[in-house]
């Protein structure tokens, strides 16, 4: 059996992402999530849907990087639950439905969650939890594919990723990889590992060509 006492999570490296959105579809495929009706694009670039929802647990966003009024890069990043080390959603949940599992995922007990309540969403610094239209469902969000992890299979999104822009593993290993990457290529990476300290640390670490604060992520 694996050692589930070591905390696990994702490392998302925006410089390796090429915006193919395999992760979005792989997430829907594994979790049997329905498609949403979309029109044109839901945000800059080719983004769709507009936002996370009760049927979209992960979303690739696009950003044109402009320098001297010319295109310099087309960047992509993956939005999903950060699986905080000390989740404020859990603290806010009066029904005690939300649980942080020691090895990583923040999940919930469907039986305890109260339909129509959105305290978890209000508390989340990343604005992650979603409910169906008019609160028709209980909390819905990324589960870190804990069902797969429990069976020794990595999460659907990181498995699908062609370029290892999203990898899954023990957080201490991911941190070491992140540190090595940013220090070995200072010309490519913004010298910062997002998620290491933010909101007390999260199980999703980001490294990127630009500060995540630029795209609306909360700073420390």
Partner 1 sequence: MAMNRRSFLKRSIFSLSTAIIVFNFPYVAWAEKKKFKTTLTKETTTICPYCGVGCGLIVSTREGKIINIEGDSNHPINEGSLCSKGSALFQVVSNERRLNSVLYRAPGASKWEKKEWTWALEKIAKNIKDTRERTFVKEKDGKIVNRTDGIAQLGGAAHDTEECYLFTKFARALGIYWLDHQARLCHSSTVASLAASFGRGAMTNHYNDLQNSDVIMVMGSNIVEMHPMASKWMMKAREKGAKIISSDPRFTRTSSIADIYTQFRSGTDIAYVGGMINYTIQHDRIQKNYVLNSTNASFIINDKYSFNDGLFAGYNPEKRNYDKTLWKYELDAEGIPKRDNTLQDPRCVFQLMKKHYERYDVETVCNITGVNKEKYLAVCDLFTSTYTEDKSATWCYAMGSTQHTVGVQYIRTYAVLQMLLGNIGIAGGGINALRGESNVQASTDMALLYHILPGYLTAPSPDDVDLKTYIEKYTPKSNDKKSANWWGNYSKYITSLLKAWWGENAQKDTEGGFCYNYLPKKSGLHDHMQIFENMYKGKIEGLIAWGQNPAVGGPNSDKERKALGKLKWLVVAELWETETAQFWKRPGVNSAEINTEVFLLPACSSVEKEGSISNSGRWAQWRYAAIHPGDADWHGDARSDLWIVDALYKGIKKEYQKNAGIFPDPILKLNWNYGTGNEIDVNKEPSAHFVASEINGYFIENGQRKGQVPFFAKLANDGTTACGNWLYCAGYVNWSDVEGKDKTATNYVNNELGEFSNRYAKRIAEKDEPKAQQLIAEGRAPGMNLNWSWCWPVNRRILYNRASVDSEGKPLNPKRWVIRWNPALAEGKGAFEGDIPDGPWAPNDKYPFIMNEEGVGRLFSAKPNEGPFPEHYEPFESPLSKNPLSGQKNNPVIVLFHQGDELNKELNSVGIPADFPIVATTMRLTEHWQAGAMTRNLSWQAELMPDLFVEISEELAIEKDIKNGDKLFVSSARGKISAYALVTKRLEPLSIMDGNTKRIIHQVAIPWHWGYAGIATGDSANILTPHVGDGNTNIPEYKTFLCNIKKA
How far apart CA 91 and CA 113 sit, in angstroms, is 14
- Is residue 126 a contact partner of residue 217, using CB atoms and an 8 Å limit? yes
How far apart CA 216 and CA 77 sit, in angstroms, is 12
Nearer to partner 1, 160 or 212 (CB): 160
DSSP string, 71-132: EEEEEEEEE----BSS-HHHHH-TT--EEE-TTS-EEE-TTTPPTT--HHHHH-TT---B-S
Nearer to partner 1, 48 or 82 (CB): 48
Task: Indicate the Cα dihedral angle 47, 62, 158, 190, nearest 10°.
Answer: -160
Nearer to partner 1, 49 or 195 (CB): 49
Nearer to partner 1, 39 or 134 (CB): 39
Residues forming contacts to partner 1 in the complex (CB under 8 A) are: 2, 8, 16, 18-22, 24-26, 28-30, 34-41, 46, 48-49, 64, 66, 69-71, 73-76, 99, 101, 107-110, 138, 140, 143, 146-147, 149-154, 156, 158-164, 167-170, 173, 176-177, 180
How far apart CA 58 and CA 79 sit, in angstroms, is 6
The least CB distance from residue 63 to partner 1, in Å, is: 10
Partners of 67 in beta bridges: 70
Nearer to partner 1, 56 or 198 (CB): 56
The least CB distance from residue 209 to partner 1, in Å, is: 10
The least CB distance from residue 70 to partner 1, in Å, is: 7
The least CB distance from residue 220 to partner 1, in Å, is: 27
DSSP count for the chain of H helices, then E strands = 6, 7
The least CB distance from residue 17 to partner 1, in Å, is: 9
């Amino acid at each position: 059996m694996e050692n589930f006492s070591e905390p696990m999570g994702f490392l998302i490296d925006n410089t390796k992402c090429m915006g193919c959105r395999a992760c979005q579809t792989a997430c829907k495929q594994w979790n049997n999530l329905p498609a949403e009706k979309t029109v044109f694009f839901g945000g800059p670039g080719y983004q769709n849907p507009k936002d996370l929802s009760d049927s979209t647990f992960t979303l690739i966003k696009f950003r044109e990087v402009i320098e001297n009024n010319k295109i310099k890069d087309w960047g992509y990043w993956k939005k999903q639950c950060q699986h905080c080390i000390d989740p404020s959603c859990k603290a806010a949940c009066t029904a005690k439905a939300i649980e942080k599992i020691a090895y990583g995922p923040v999940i919930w007990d469907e039986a305890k969650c109260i339909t129509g309540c959105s305290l978890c969403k209000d508390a989340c610094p990343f604005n992650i939890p979603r409910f169906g239209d008019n609160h028709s469902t209980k909390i819905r969000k990324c589960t870190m594919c804990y069902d797969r992890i429990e069976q020794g299979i990595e999460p659907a999104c990181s498995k699908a990723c062609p370029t290892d822009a999203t990898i899954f593993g023990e957080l201490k290993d991911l941190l070491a990889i992140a540190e090595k990457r940013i220090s070995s290529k200072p010309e490519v990476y913004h010298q910062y590992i997002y998620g290491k300290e933010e909101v007390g640390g999260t199980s999703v670490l980001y490294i990127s060509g630009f500060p995540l604060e630029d795209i609306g992520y909360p700073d420390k």
